[in-house]
Amino acid sequence: MTTLLVIAKEPRPGRVKTRLCPPFTPAEAAALAEAALVDTLDAVAAAPADRRVLVLDGEPGPWLPPGFDVVPQRGDGLDERLAAAFAGCDGPALLVGMDTPQITPELLSVDLSTCDAYFGPAEDGGFWALGLAAPDPELLRGVPMSTSVTGAVQRARLTAAGLRVRDLPALRDVDTADDAEAVAAVAPHGRFAAELTRLRAVSGR
């Protein structure tokens, strides 16, 4: 049974995308976060999977489409929360976050029967996707998160365990206003790009 996991925060002002402020207000940053999450969930919903799970910090809202199980995030650090997400899977699983609204169902259509792991590097040094044919939480515990070497350390952890790793394309996370502009340009027809355009019009930026 292949599981697609999305780890995310409830898009509430002051809790998400704080690095977008300024130029955006906390409410605007939360609106962009919700749009990014909607695009991500739409891509996951359209990708092949036996089960789709939203691993959520917070409460689900009207932005959640049907067909997803919702489980709470568990653990203190992000490495522990990612490890716990994989621990809840019985078979192959691919995990993504909510910071790459440009993802497509095609990018998520991985075949974990042909390798041990998939790794999607992020341009800021992190990673946007991690797929494991046999999920092992210990592969994530202790990896330093939110640093410029997070991706390198995580990928090295996979190869050190003897796993055959396939790399996915590098994508840009949305952390800053410049990131938002760049990602919207790559995926101009998504909810995220539309919300960014709306906010520009409202604020006159």
The contacts found for 73-80 with CB under 8 angstroms, 24 or more apart, are 73/7, 77/145, 78/145, 78/146, 79/140, 79/141, 79/142, 79/143, 79/144, 79/145, 80/141
Burial of 44 (0-12, 13-18, 19+ CB in 10 A): buried
Domain 3-203 architecture: Alpha-Beta Complex (3.90)
pLDDT value of position 187: 97
CB of 99 within 8 A of CB of 7?
no
Give the pTM.
Answer: 0.96
Q: Could you give the angle at the alpha carbon of 51 between the alpha carbons of 45 and 52, nearest 5°?
A: 45
Burial 107-145 (b: 16+ CB within 10 A, else e): bbebebeeebbbbbbbebebbbbbbbbebbbebbeebeb
pLDDT by position in tens, the chain (length 205)? 799 999 999 999 999 999 999 999 999 999 999 999 999 999 999 999 999 999 999 999 999 999 999 999 999 999 999 999 999 999 999 999 999 999 999 999 999 999 999 999 999 999 999 999 999 999 999 999 999 999 999 999 999 999 999 999 999 999 999 999 999 999 999 999 999 999 989 876 6
pLDDT value of position 205: 63
Q: Which residues contact 148 (CB under 8 A, 6 or more apart)?
A: 124, 125
Domain chopping of the chain, boundaries: 3-203
Beta-carbon count within 10 A of 185 CB: 11
Beta strand pairing call for 69-72 and 93-96: unpaired
pLDDT value of position 159: 98
- Strands of 117-121's sheet, edge to edge? 69-72, 51-57, 3-9, 93-96, 127-132, 117-121, 165-167
CB of 46 within 8 A of CB of 105?
yes
